[in-house]
Amino acid sequence: MISQVWRVNLATMLFFTLIQVVVPLIPRYALTVSASPFLIGLAVSSISLTAIFLRPVSGFLSDTWFRSKLMVTGLAFGSAAYIVLYLSTDIYQIMLGRLLEGVAVALFVPSSIASAVDQAPAGKVGETLGWRSLMIGLGFTAGPALGGLLAEAFGYTATFGMTSVMIIFLIPLVVYKEPKREKGSFSVSIKGLAERHFVVAFVSYVFYAVAWMGLLTFLSTYLKILGYGDLQIGLFVSIQAVSSLVLRIFAGRAADRNPALMTYLGLFMISFAFLLISLNQEPVKLYFDALIFGLGLGVFVPGSQTLALAHAHAGSRGFLSSIYTMGMDIGNMVGPMIFGAVIQASGSYPKSFLIAPVLTFIAALVVLVPERIGRLT
What does the pLDDT average to over 5-14? 92
- My answer on whether 46 and 151 are in the same domain is yes
pLDDT at 154: 92
- C-alpha 322 chain-centroid distance: 12
Of 64, 52, 6, 17, which Cα lies nearest the Cα of 325?
52
CA 85 – CA 323 distance, rounded (Å) = 28
Residues 121 and 92 in one domain: yes
> For 287-296, what is the mean pLDDT?
95
Q: Quick check: is 183 in a domain?
A: no
The reply to whether 104 falls in a domain is yes
pLDDT tens readout for residues 28-85: 888 888 887 778 777 877 887 888 889 888 988 888 888 899 999 999 999 999 999 9
Give per-residue pLDDT as tens, 88-146.
999 999 999 999 999 999 999 989 888 888 887 877 888 888 898 889 888 888 888 88
- Which residue, of 135, 153, 178, is where some domain finishes? 178
> Closest Cα to residue 239, out of 300, 283, 299?
283
Query: Which among 146, 178, 210 is the end of a domain?
Result: 178
Is 307 within a domain? yes
For the chain, state the CA radius of gyration.
Answer: 20
The Cα 162–Cα 10 span in angstroms is 19
CA proximity to 356, closest of 273, 241, 236: 273
What pLDDT was estimated at residue 47? 81
| Domain co-membership, 211 together with 155 | no
Stretch 259-284: mean pLDDT:
94
**Which of 87-101, 210-224, 292-306 shows the lowest mean pLDDT across its residues?**
210-224
**Same domain for 112 and 255?**
no
Total number of residues shown for the chain? 377
In this structure, the answer to whether residues 240 and 139 fall within a common structural domain is: no
Q: What pLDDT is recorded for position 329?
A: 83
CATH code of residue 156: 1.20.1250.20
How far is it, in rounded angstroms, from Cα 164 to Cα 181? 33
Query: What letter would DSSP give residue 299?
Result: H
Q: How far apart are CA 288 and CA 294, in angstroms?
A: 10
What is the end-to-end Cα distance of the chain in Å, rounded? 38
Q: Is 331 a domain residue?
A: yes
| Same domain? 27 vs 134 | yes
Whether 62 and 81 share a structural domain: yes
Predicted confidence at residue 24, as pLDDT, reads 78
Say if residues 82 and 167 touch (Cβ distance below 8 Å). Answer: yes
Q: How far apart are CA 374 and CA 377, in angstroms?
A: 6
How far is CA 280 from its chain centroid?
27
In a domain, residue 78? The reply is: yes
The answer on 142 and 101 residing in a single domain is yes
Backbone angles phi, psi at 88, to 5 degrees: -65, 145
Question: Do 210 and 216 contact (CB within 8 A), yes or no?
Answer: no
Average of per-residue pLDDT across 321-346: 87
Shared domain check, 221 and 144:
no
Same domain, 147 and 230: no
User: How many domains would you assign to the chain?
Assistant: 2
Domain with 355 in it: 189-372
Model confidence at 372: pLDDT above 80:
yes
SS3 at position 2: coil
Domain boundary among 127, 159, 178: 178
Q: Is residue 57 part of a domain?
A: yes
C-alpha span between 344 and 336 (Å, rounded): 12
The pLDDT score that the predictor gives to residue 238 is: 79
Most confident range, picked from 8-17, 53-62, 137-146, 265-274: 265-274
Residues 67 and 199 in one domain: no
Please state, in angstroms and rounded to a whole number, the distance separating the CA atoms of residues 155 and 148: 9
Q: What is the pLDDT of residues 185-216, one digit of tens each?
A: 667 677 778 889 999 999 999 999 999 988 98
72 domain-assigned: yes
Based on the domain organization, do 123 and 257 belong to the same domain?
no
Residue 49 lies in a domain: yes
The pLDDT, as a whole number, for residue 229 is: 66
Chain-wide mean pLDDT for the chain?
88
